[in-house]
Every structure is written in C-alpha cells, then in structure tokens.
Chains A and B, each alone.
Chain A
Amino acid sequence: MQLVRERADFDQAQRPDTPAVRLEHVSKSFGARQVLDDVSFDVPAGCGFVILGRSGSGKSVTLRHIVGLVRPDSGRVFVHGDEVSTLSGVELSRVRRHIGFLFQNSALFDSISVGENVAFPLRRHTKLSDGEIRAIALDKLEAVGLGREYDKMPAALSGGMRKRAGLARALALDPRLLLVDEPSAGLDPITADEIDTLLADLKGRGRATLVVVTHNIPSAKRLGDWLIMLHGGQIVAEGTPGDLARSSHELVRAFMNSQNAG
C-alpha cells in the first residue's frame, strides 16, 4: 500500500541518531512581548516528550515552530534533520506530510463531515481510490471509537468526540511525529483519560514520536519519557517526571505537586 511504502522509504532515509525534533537557540517575540528566549532541546525519535508550563509560557508557540506555522526571530528548528525554519512551499509540505498535529480546539474543518475531515489528508497526498480512502478514514475513526460518526458534521459532536476526531485526522497519514496541543483542555477527567490512553497506546506501539504540550501533570507523567518546563520563555527544568518532582526550582516542584498531579 502507498502509505506503508512511503513510510518505509522515510524510515530508510533517516539516520538512527537523527533527533525527531531539534530546537537550537530559538527566540521569538510578538510585538514587545518575548515569548521564547533562547530555547534549545532535542527530541529523540520514538520518545514521549512533554512540554510543561503555565498559560502563556510559550508552550503552544514552541509546537507551532516545529510544524513551521511560526518562524523564529533567531535560532533554528529541525524536524527529522530538515531545517523547517528556512523551508517553504513544496519542501515544507514534504516535511509536514510526516507530522500530525492535534490542535487544542481540534480545528476540524466544519464545512465537511467528520469522515471527510479524516479523509482530507489522504485525498490531498495520496493517489488512493475513493474506496481505499474511505476504508482508511473509517479505520482511523474506529481506532478512536468514532466509527459510527463518519457522516456526522463536526458541529454535531461533543468536545471530547471532536478531540478524538482531530486525533484520527492527525494520524491519517501515519505520521512519524505527532504534535499534541493540550490534549485534555476543556474535557472532563474521564474523556481526558480516554484521550491519554489513545496517545499512550500510540507511543507504546512505537509508531511515532510524541510531543505533547500540557499543564496536566498526570497526563504529562503518563505520556512523557522526558519533560521540559517553560517559564518566561525559557526552559527552567528538564528531566524525567521523577527528576522534575525533585527539582530544586520552587515553581517546578509546585507545578509537579499541584492539585491535578497524579
């Protein structure tokens, strides 16, 4: 099948020591407000990488740099060895085809059905027949428990269902890198746990590198092999969940032991 072949070609082209994501001294300001200040980190391929921080600490902006939606004022951003911060047009599209992005508010296309949302990347980037595309989209929706919602419009879904549909769309092309922005934001604890379970399964199967932005500590502990914490646009702590819980930084310890800490 075309997707399997493309993924095999992609894996073959990758050097094993190439990090899935690398940020080198990235700084970004919006007007007078500096959001990121000299941020650098590596995300090893296959890793569960969590970016923690309070609201407005630059977490989502970091994620947007990785997919090339935002360009750094200074510094460089690499994805699978390609410098996305300098790419545009066809070259940027080529890199993005291997990235799945689950937006905080799902960002489903509201003029087409849920199934067509999942089918959309397949229609754009493969030469599969309509029947094959429908079968894959249905398969992805079933994997997130939405197999019966194919023909519904996004507006007819609950917040949790929209989030799962967004995840199915992000996984449509079997991406090598999955970026997830606040997977539990606005969801009840049970639905949030369902989303975490789906992401943990994905990580467990080693299918993709996971970069998750969250301020939910139980979620971070479950999904993260390595965590960083942003504060004031800078990385103030990094390590395993255990390392951060024992951090000498007062804010980090307070964050890790906050109310929603599991």
Chain B
Amino acid sequence: MAKRKQYDMKTPGTRELVDEIVHGTFVKEGTLLAFPTCFPGSSAPIRADESRITALDATFDGGVYGGTSGRATHLFVGMFHGVTGAVLDLGTVEGGTHCPAVCCGEKNFVAGVNGEKGGRLVGRNLQPLPFDLIQEWGFDRKPFDEMGAIGGGEPIVHMAADPQRKFAVGASSGHLFVVDLEEKEVETVGELGGCGQIGVDAEGRFLGMDEGDALWAFDRGTGKLERKSIQLPSATWDGVELRWARDPGDGTLYTADGGGRMFSYRPDSGWSDSLGQAPLAPVGPLAVTFDGRLFGFCGEEMARLFTLDEEGVRQLGGAASVFERRRYGYSFGAAVVGRDGEIIFGEEDELGHLWLYFPKIAPRQ
C-alpha cells in the first residue's frame, strides 16, 4: 500500500470537509426518526434480544403491525396518527423466535412465526384506536388465535397480502398457502419450496423465486399456480432471497439481484433494464412511496439508505435519529409505506426501533 502524506489541517475547505465526513455520512435528504417498541414514558420496550424487527405491514388507516425475531417473537402495533404515538407490544408468541411476515386485513392481522417446533400462523383482531395518549389510556393483552401449521410445521418463509387486504398468500418451506384475512382460515394450495419474499404484481398475481432464475406465479382468482412462469432478467440471482417493493399507485414491482442491481417488473411490459445499482449489496428492505420513489437499505453491518427515482439510484447515507431518541441505525429487516407516504423501516438489531422516514419534498420547478 502506498504511503500517504499527512493531511494539512490548514488546507482551505478543511472545516467543510470535516463537517461532510462527520455529518454528511448520515441521511442527507429527508428525516429519519427512531421510535422505540413501547409507549415512551409508560411502558418498557421489548427486550433487546427479542426485538429484531423482521416483518411489517400497515392497515388502510395507518396502523403499523410487525413482528420480531430473536430469543422470542413479539407481535406489535405502532400507532402514530391522531393523539397516539406508541408501539404496543401485543405479546409474545409462545415458542416463536422468528417472524418472517405479518399481513393486515381490514379487521384482523395474521403473522407467520417460526420456532424450534416449526412454523405456524397466528392472528388477532386489529387493535382499536385508544383514547388520547397524552391524557389517559388503558391497554391489555389478548391471546393470539392459533391458526395452525403448514405441512405439519414447515417454517413459514413469507406472506403477502393482496392490495384489497382480503387475503394473503404465503409460502412455507414446502407449500404455498392462502390465508383468508377476514375469517382467519388457511388453505393449502400446493407443494412449493418457498424462498425469499413474495411480491404482488400489477394484476394481483403473487410472485416468488422458483428454480432456474425464474419466478412462480399464483393467481388467486383461478387458483392456478404456474411454476417458472416468469424468467428473471439476466443478472446475478444465485442464492438471492428476493426482496420486493410495490408501487402503491400502479403496482409496478421492484427487486434487486445479488449485486444490488435494481429492476422493475410489470405484467404488460415485463422486466426493465437495470435501473441502477444500489451502493452496497445485498439490498435489504424496500418500499415505494406514493409518488413512485423507492427507498431502501442496502449493505451489511452498517446499512445505507438509498433511493431510486427517475434519475436513477442515489445513496442517501447512514441512519441517525436525533429527535427524542438519539440512535444510529445499522441493520434493517422490513419496510412498509405508512398512511401518508412516509416509509417505516423495521430495525433488525438488538433494541430494534421503528424508523419513520419522511422523504425530502422537492422544491417547485
């Protein structure tokens, strides 16, 4: 390695460079706000080693449901609108240590939970809005409804809800299944070795990683599961556990290959060319906000926030929260779009927080 010359601290622009190194490392656009898994000042957060947030979903009215992994799985709901501002720990799922997915219906939510004894589904009715959480409140915990196992207890790999939130489609390590979110009933569709996340395309078909760099596709309307239905674009897919983000406006799906190259998919036009490369690989949780901008984290150990918009991919920096909770964010496991287009990231780390990201608003042209 070549020897370098010591920096001359009197160099013009040193102050600016120092500031850029110190502060410019962190998110440069928009605001990240870390919220603990509790009602601050009124309850304790989920224990550190039980609080890695690995699953998130949101209701139509902005409730954020999630699940944790670690020494125990907790299911929780975050409430951030009106006079709320709390994360309610709904309780632990007995024997659970990993939560790969939570899906919200209009009245209920369902979670996939894995543990030593295998995987299973649990659910509960949605948490009603509390009274004014500045004034007075009262919460209790209700037991979860046990909804059974898939294939005798195969680990649940992922689930995704349909855009109308009537049902969800999930994959275990051996089967594809459908969950009626109204009735909390489960129906096994067929054999399939699940891998990575499930996406929902613009026509409402459910897609997931299949063999041979292809996707399987499941149409709930016809009940048909088509193996190797869609060929993935030419890229690096070996060993990739797909992550998806769906544009809530037009249903465009986004994903990334093992090198962090971003692609979009639409049934009518197929795959895009590479839209750009995330600054780091692998690409982690992603979400698309209402104006079509995608935000996600990439990289291991110390993830970076990036965005994909009309101009391509840009790194936005590391995660830091300076409002009330002062915290760095290093690792993220889930993402969902909130009621008003903010992105909520689940921190997959000890003492995991929910990170609310409010993207930058572009100046009028």
Asked if A and B bind, the verdict is no
Using CB atoms and an 8 Å cutoff, list the residues of chain A in contact with chain B.
none
Using CB atoms and an 8 Å cutoff, list the residues of chain B in contact with chain A.
none
